[in-house]
Amino acid sequence: MEGLVGTLFLTPLVGALLMPWVSKLGRRAADAFVTLAMVVTVVTCLLLLPGAASTCTFEWLGAHVEVDGLSLLFLVVVNGVGLCCAVYSIDYIGHYGGRAKFFSLLLLMVMGLNGMVLVRDLFSLYLFLEVASVAAYVLVAYNLEFDGIEASLKYLLLSVVATGMVLIGISLILATTGTLGFAGLRAALAGGAASNPVLMLAAGLFVAGFGLKAAVVPFHAWLPDAHPSAPAPISAMLSGVVIKVAGVYALVRLFFGVYAAPPHVLRALLILGLLSMVVGAVVAYFQTDFKRLLAYSSISQIGYILIGLGIGNWFGIVGALFHVLNHAIFKSLLFLNSGAVQYRTGTRDIREMGGLENRMRVTGVTSVFGTLSIAGVPPFGGFFSKLFIILGAVAAKQWVVAFLTVFFSIFTLGYFLYLQRRVFFGKLNEKWNELKEAPAAMSVAVVVLAATTLLVGVFFDSVLRGLIEPAARVLVGGN
Amino acid sequence: MDLQTTALAIIAVPLLGSFLIPVVGWMRKGKLTGYLAVALIGAAHLMTWTLLGPARAGQVTSFKIPFYGDLINLSLTIDALAAFMAFTSSLIATLIAIYSLGYIEHGDHEPEYYFIVTLFLGAMMGLVFSTNIIFLYTFWEISALACWRLIGYFREPDYIWKADKAFLVTFGGAVLMLLGFVLVYAQYGTFEIADLRGKTVSAVALVLILAGVFSKSASVPLHTWLPDAGVAPSTITSLLHAAILVKIGLYGFARLFCNGLSIPPQWHKWLLAVALGSAFVSACAALQETNIKRLLAFSTVSQIGYTFLGLFAFTATGYVGALLYIMAHGLAKGGLFLCAGIIEHGTHTKDMTKMGGLFKKMPVTAVAYLVCALSIAGIPPMAGFFSKYFVIQGMVNGGYHYLAVGAILTAVLTLLYMLRSFHTIFLGQPRGESHHEGAPVMVTVVAILAVMTVLAGFFLPMPFALAKVAAAQRTIFYTLAGLWR
C-alpha cells in the first residue's frame, strides 16, 4: 500500500525531471514516456480502488500521508483526466513546440495535485497547492501570446491573494492550537471551534482563499481569462481537475474533516454555490468564444458542487462528490473538443463555425455526449449527480434551492444547445469545406472521455458504491 | 421464452441493437442500415405479440433488477396497459420504418437517421415496461434527445432552432416533472410506482409532474413546439405524432396517476377543463392552417386533448376510450402524415393552397387520406368513432355533461377541418405540375394503415377486450359507484 502511494508522488515527479533527457531521444520517446508515466499513476489508482472503504496512513519524509475514500475519488479524477490530456497533447502540442517542457510541467502539476489529496496537514497541503499552481501559471502562458501572458499574470496575482489568505489562516490556526495536522486539529477544534473568533476568522479566510482557487463567484474573475488562453489540454486540466482539487477538495477536507461542518460555513457554501450557478450560467449564455463559454459553465457547475456540499446531508454530499467526477469527465471532454476545433479552424469564435460535425464527426458526436451529460440528460453521468443534489435539497426542505437547481439545468441545456447549433449541428459553413478530423491521439482521448461519461451514467450504481459512497462516508464520518 | 425475458428482449433489441447501425454505416454499407432498422424494430414488434395473450387473461408480471439500493431499480411490469402500448407503438413504428426505406434519401446522415429511430423505439419500449420512476424518466429523456436529432435532420438553420425548441420545452417540462417526482419521494420514500399505488399526490408535485406530461404530449399552452417540429422528415413527424413521442405523456399519465398515485377528486374537473380547452383551441387553430403538416400537428394537439379527456374523467369507460383513442389516433395520424410525405415528395410543397386535384394523380394516397381523416373526425365504422364515443360516454358517466357537450363540439370542428383539407388537396382543379404517386413501398404502407384503421373499427372487440382488462387493473380511487361506470 505504501509503495503504491509513493508511486503516485514519485512517478510524475521523476517523469517531470527525466523528461528533458528522454526527449533528446526523439519526439516519440517523449510521447511514450509521458503516456507511460500517466498510465502508471492511473493503474496505481485502480489498484488502490478495492481498498476504497478502508484507509491507509503512514509517515513519509516527516509528512503524514493517508489514503481514504475521499482522496481516492480525487486521485482517480486527477490521474484519469491527466492521462487523457497527456495522450491528447501528443498531437496537439506539435504546433506550440517545446514538447519536453510542456510534458514536464504537466507531470509536475499532476504531482502537486496528487500530493494535495494525499497529505494530512495544512502546511503540506499548502506546499503542494503551490507546486500545482506554479506549473499551472506557466502552462496558461504557454502560447506566449499577449492574451495568454495577460491571463497568466491575472491568474497569478489573484491566486497570490488567495494563497496569502490561506497562509494567514494557517498561521492563525497554528498560533491558536499549536498544531497543523488534521487529526490533531480536529481534536483541538472539537467543541470550541464555533465560539473561538480567531478560528472562525481562519475559516472565513479559507472559504475566500480556496473559494478563489475554485473560481466561485464572486472570486471567479481569473478563470474566464485563464482557461480559454491556455492550450486545450491545460484548459481541460484546469477546469476539470485543478479548480476541484485546489478549491473544492481543500474546502471539503477542511470543513468536513477538520471543522466538523459548522452550519454557518455550510450556509456560506450554499449561498456561494447558488450565486456561482446562476451567474456562471447567465454569463455563459452571452459568450461567443467557445472556450470562454465553457469556462463560465465551469463556474456554474462548481456552483452545483458547492450547493450539494452546502446542503450537507447524505444525498447532497453524494451528489456533490459525484458531480466532481462527472464534471471532470464532461468538462475536460468539452474543452478537448474545443481544442480540436481550434486546432483545425484556428479560431475560437463560434460565430464563424457551423456544421462542423460534417467534417469532424468524432469531435461532433463526442461533444454531443458532453452536452447531454452537462445538461443532466439521462442516462449520462451528469443526470445522476444532479438528481442526488436535488434529492438532497428536497430532503433538507430547501425548496428554493431545489427549484433553482432544476431551473438552471434547463438554462444549461439552453446555452449548450446554442453552442451545438452554432458549431456542430447544421449545414456546413462553406469556409470549412477542406476541414479534416482532428489527429488520431486527440480523437482517442475524446472518445475515451465520451464513453466514460456514458458508462458512468449507465453503471451509476457501481460508481456510486465503489467510488462515491466511500468518499462521502469519510465526510459524514467526520461530521 | 417467459414473459420477463420477452419484455427485456423487447427493450434490448432496439435499444442496444441500434448501436449496430452506425457501425454498419461506418463500414460504408449505408443502404443496409435501413433494412437493419426495420429488422430490429420489426423483431421488437413481433415479440410484443406474445405478451397479448397473457395480458388479456389479466396476468400481471412484475420483476425487479436491483441497481442502487432501495432508490433506483429497474422494475418492469407487464400488464394490459404496457402490452397495449408496446404493441400499438411498435406496430406503427415498424410500418413507418418500412416507409422510410422509400422516403429517406441515401446520404451522409442516413445511418444516423436509422440509428436514432431505432433508439427512439427502444426508449419507448423501455418506458412502457418501466415502473421505477427514475428509469421511466431516463427513457423519457432518451426519447427527447432522439427527437432533437431527428427534427433537425435536414440541417437547415431554422430547422435546427426548432429542434432545439422541441428539446428545450420537453426537457424543461421533464426536469420540472423530476422535481415533482423528488417531492413524491420525499413524501413517500419510494420511486416504485407499485408502492405508490393509491397514495394521494400533493398539489405542488401534481402541477410539476403535469408540466412534464403536458409538455411532452404537446397540450396547450406547451404545444407550440409540435407544429414547429413539422420541419422534420414526414416519417419523423409521423413517428412523433402517431407512434411514440406525444403518446409518452399520455402513457406517463395513465401509468403514474391511473395505476399509481391518486389525484384528489376536486382536481378532476379542472384537469378536464384544461384538456378540453387544449382540444378546442387547437382545433380552431387547425381550421385556419394552410400548411398541411401544421394542420395535422394542430389536429394532433386537439386529439391528444381528447385522449386526456378520457383519462381525466377517471371512469373505466373513459379509460378504455383513451386507450382505444391512442391506437385509433396512432393508426390514422400515422397514415395522414405518411400521406403528407407522399404529397410533399410529389408536389414539393407543404402549402395546401398550391395543391388541388391530386385525386387523379394519387388515387391510393387520396383514399387512404380520406379514410384516416374520417377516422380522426370520428365517423363510423372507423376506429376513431368508437374511441371518441367511449371518451364522451366516460365523461358523461363521470357526471361532466357540460364538458361532454364541448367535446362533441370539438369533434364537429375536427370533421370540418379534416374534410376541408381533403377537399383542398385532392379535389378541384389541379394547380402546379409534376405530380406523381409515391414509391410503391410508401403507398403500400399508407394503404395498410388505412385498411387497419377500418379493420380496427370492425374488429373492435379485440383491442376493446385488452383495454377493458387494463381498466380493471387501474388503481381505484374512490369507490362511489364501483368499477365499471
Phi, psi of B32 (to 5 degrees): -70, -25
Report the chain A residue with the minimal C-alpha distance to residue B159.
A426
Q: What is the 3-state secondary structure (H, E, C) of chain B?
A: CCHHHHHHHHHHHHHHHCCHHHHHHHCCCHHHHHHHHHHHHHHHHHHHHHHHHHHHCCCCEEEEEEEECCCEEEEEEECHHHHHHHHHHHHHHHHHHHHHHHHCCCCCCHHHHHHHHHHHHHHHHHHHHECEHHHHHHHHHHHHHHHHHHHCCCCCHHHHHHHHHHHHHHHHHHHHHHHHHHHHHHHHCCCECHHHCCCECCHHHHHHHHHHHHHHCCCCCCCCHHHHHHHCCHHHHHHHHHHCHHHHHHHHHHHHHHCCCECCHHHHHHHHHHHHHHHHHHHHHHHCCCEHHHHHHHHHHHHHHHHHHHHHCCCHHHHHHHHHHHHHHHHHHHHHHHHHHHHHHHHCCCEHHHCCCCCCCCHHHHHHHHHHHHHHHCCCCCHHHHHHHHHHHHHHHHCCHHHHHHHHHHHHHHHHHHHHHHHHHHCCCCCCCCCCCCCHHHHHHHHHHHHHHHHHHHCCHHHHHHHHHHHHCCCCCCCCCCCCC
3-class secondary-structure state, position A65: strand
Could you say which DSSP state residue A230 is in?
S
| Whether B106 contacts chain A with CB within 8 A | no
Mean local confidence (pLDDT), A257-283: 90
Residue ranges of domains in chain A: 266-479
Nearest to A378 among B68, B137, B172 (CB): B137
- Which chain B residues have a beta carbon less than 8 Å from that of A376? 175
% of chain A at pLDDT higher than 70: 97
Test A425 with B155 for CB contact under 8 angstroms: yes
* Top-confidence range, A173-182, B113-122, B346-355, B476-485: B113-122
Q: Per the structure block, which three cell numbers stand in for A39?
A: 498510465
Test A413 with B152 for CB contact under 8 angstroms: no
Confidence at residue B482, expressed as pLDDT on a 0 to 100 scale: 43
Calculate how close chain A gets to B155, using CA atoms only, in Å. Answer: 4
Which DSSP helix (H) or strand (E) runs through A59? strand A56-60
The span from the CA of B295 to the CA of B226, in Å, is: 11
The span from the CA of B170 to the CA of B222, in Å, is: 9
Test A425 with B160 for CB contact under 8 angstroms: yes
Question: β-strand B72-78 against A56-60: which pairing, if any?
Answer: unpaired
Question: β-strand A56-60 against A63-67: which pairing, if any?
Answer: antiparallel
Angle at B280 between CA B276 and CA B283, to 5 degrees: 140
Which of A1, A169, A16 lies closest to A101, judged by CA?
Answer: A16
Q: Is the pLDDT of residue B101 over 70?
A: yes
Q: How far is CA A379 from the centre of its chain?
A: 22
Nearest to A403 among B160, B171, B179 (CB): B179
Provide the 10 A C-beta neighbour count for residue A6.
15
| Whether A275 contacts chain B with CB within 8 A | no
Test B178 with A387 for CB contact under 8 angstroms: yes
Q: Per the structure block, which three cell numbers stand in for B316?
A: 373505466
- Which chain A residues have a beta carbon less than 8 Å from that of B68? 460-461, 464-465
Between chain A and chain B, the number of residue pairs with CB atoms below 8 A apart is 77
Comparing A190-204, A315-329, B98-112, the range with the smallest average pLDDT is A190-204
Radius of gyration of chain B (CA): 21
Radius of gyration of chain A (CA): 21
Q: Is the pLDDT of residue B478 over 50?
A: no
Confidence at residue A478, expressed as pLDDT on a 0 to 100 scale: 44
Test A378 with B141 for CB contact under 8 angstroms: yes
| Whether A388 contacts chain B with CB within 8 A | no
Structural contact between residues A42 and A80, judged by C-beta atoms closer than 8 angstroms: yes
Confidence at residue A426, expressed as pLDDT on a 0 to 100 scale: 82
Average pLDDT of chain A to the nearest whole number: 90
Nearest to B68 among A390, A421, A464 (CB): A464
Q: How confident is the model at residue B480 (pLDDT cuts 50, 70, 90)?
A: very low
Amino acid at the residue B205: A
Test A421 with B108 for CB contact under 8 angstroms: no
Q: Is the pLDDT of residue A220 over 60?
A: yes
Nearest to B183 among A379, A394, A421 (CB): A394
Structural contact between residues B234 and B340, judged by C-beta atoms closer than 8 angstroms: yes
Which of A106, A120, A139 lies closest to A13, judged by CA?
Answer: A106
Q: What is the pLDDT of residues B212-264, one digit of tens each?
A: 999 999 888 888 899 898 888 888 888 888 878 889 999 999 999 998 888 88
What is the pTM for the complete model shown? 0.94
| Whether B357 contacts chain A with CB within 8 A | no
| Whether B138 contacts chain A with CB within 8 A | yes
The span from the CA of B417 to the CA of B415, in Å, is: 6
Amino acid at the residue B310: G
Comparing A41-50, B313-322, B353-362, the range with the smallest average pLDDT is B353-362
Mean local confidence (pLDDT), A370-379: 93
Test B168 with A418 for CB contact under 8 angstroms: no
Nearest to B145 among A372, A418, A461 (CB): A372
Which of B244, B214, B343, B350 lies closest to B293, judged by CA?
Answer: B350
Calculate how close chain B gets to A377, using CA atoms only, in Å. Answer: 6
Q: Is the pLDDT of residue A33 over 90?
A: yes
Calculate how close chain B gets to A394, using CA atoms only, in Å. Answer: 7
Q: Per the structure block, which three cell numbers stand in for A418?
A: 446554442
Q: Is the pLDDT of residue A420 over 50?
A: yes
- Which chain A residues have a beta carbon less than 8 Å from that of B186? 394-395
Comparing A63-77, A423-437, B185-199, B470-484, the range with the smallest average pLDDT is B470-484
Report the chain B residue with the minimal C-alpha distance to residue A354.
B157
Q: What's the number of CA atoms in the CB half-sphere (13 Å) around residue B446?
A: 31
- Which chain B residues have a beta carbon less than 8 Å from that of A406? 175-176, 178-179
Which of A162, A171, A245 lies closest to A202, judged by CA?
Answer: A171
Buried b (16+ CB within 10 A) or exposed e, A447-465: bbbbebbbbbbeebbebbe
| Whether A402 contacts chain B with CB within 8 A | yes
Report the chain A residue with the minimal C-alpha distance to residue B149.
A425
- Which chain A residues have a beta carbon less than 8 Å from that of B161? 421
- Which chain B residues have a beta carbon less than 8 Å from that of A409? 175
Test A413 with B167 for CB contact under 8 angstroms: yes
Q: Per the structure block, which three cell numbers stand in for B379?
A: 365517423
Phi, psi of A188 (to 5 degrees): -70, -35
Amino acid at the residue B31: K
Average pLDDT of chain B to the nearest whole number: 90
Percentages (nearest 5) of helix, strand, coil residues in chain A? 80, 5, 15
Q: What is the pLDDT of residues A130-139, one digit of tens each?
A: 999 999 999 9
Confidence at residue A2, expressed as pLDDT on a 0 to 100 scale: 77
Q: Is the pLDDT of residue B6 over 60?
A: yes
Confidence at residue A456, expressed as pLDDT on a 0 to 100 scale: 95
Mean local confidence (pLDDT), A378-383: 92
This model of the complex carries an ipTM of 0.92
Confidence at residue A192, expressed as pLDDT on a 0 to 100 scale: 67
The span from the CA of B179 to the CA of A386, in Å, is: 11
- Which chain A residues have a beta carbon less than 8 Å from that of B183? 394
Structural contact between residues A328 and A244, judged by C-beta atoms closer than 8 angstroms: yes
Calculate how close chain A gets to B98, using CA atoms only, in Å. Answer: 26
The span from the CA of B100 to the CA of B438, in Å, is: 12
Q: Is the pLDDT of residue B151 over 80?
A: yes
The span from the CA of B276 to the CA of B220, in Å, is: 10
Test B182 with A391 for CB contact under 8 angstroms: yes
| Whether A389 contacts chain B with CB within 8 A | no
Comparing A181-195, A340-354, A455-469, B139-153, the range with the smallest average pLDDT is A181-195
Comparing A86-100, A188-202, A308-322, B19-33, the range with the smallest average pLDDT is A188-202
Which residues 414-443 in chain A show a CB within 8 A of chain B?
414, 417-418, 420-421, 425-427
Nearest to B155 among A390, A426, A461 (CB): A426
Bridge partners (DSSP) of residue A65 are A58, A119
The span from the CA of B140 to the CA of B208, in Å, is: 15
The span from the CA of A74 to the CA of A70, in Å, is: 7
Angle at A404 between CA A401 and CA A410, to 5 degrees: 145
| Whether A395 contacts chain B with CB within 8 A | yes
Cα dihedral across residues B269, B275, B281, B287: positive or negative: negative
Structural contact between residues B289 and B295, judged by C-beta atoms closer than 8 angstroms: yes
The span from the CA of A69 to the CA of A72, in Å, is: 5
Provide the 10 A C-beta neighbour count for residue B94.
23
Q: How confident is the model at residue A210 (pLDDT cuts 50, 70, 90)?
A: very high
| CA distances in angstroms from A229 to A143, A156, A157, A301, B97, listed in the order given | 8, 14, 16, 20, 48
| Whether B178 contacts chain A with CB within 8 A | yes
Confidence at residue B110, expressed as pLDDT on a 0 to 100 scale: 87
Structural contact between residues A135 and A245, judged by C-beta atoms closer than 8 angstroms: no
Comparing A34-43, A229-238, B238-247, B268-277, the range with the smallest average pLDDT is B238-247
| Whether A390 contacts chain B with CB within 8 A | yes
Q: What is the pLDDT of residues B39-61, one digit of tens each?
A: 999 999 999 999 999 999 988 99
Report the chain B residue with the minimal C-alpha distance to residue A359.
B108
Confidence at residue A98, expressed as pLDDT on a 0 to 100 scale: 84
3-class secondary-structure state, position A449: helix
Nearest to A377 among B145, B161, B183 (CB): B145
Confidence at residue A166, expressed as pLDDT on a 0 to 100 scale: 94
Angle between helices A290-311 and A314-345 (to 10 degrees): 170
Which residues 434-463 in chain B show a CB within 8 A of chain A?
none
| Whether A468 contacts chain B with CB within 8 A | no
| Whether A271 contacts chain B with CB within 8 A | no
- A423 versus A479: which is more confidently predicted? A423
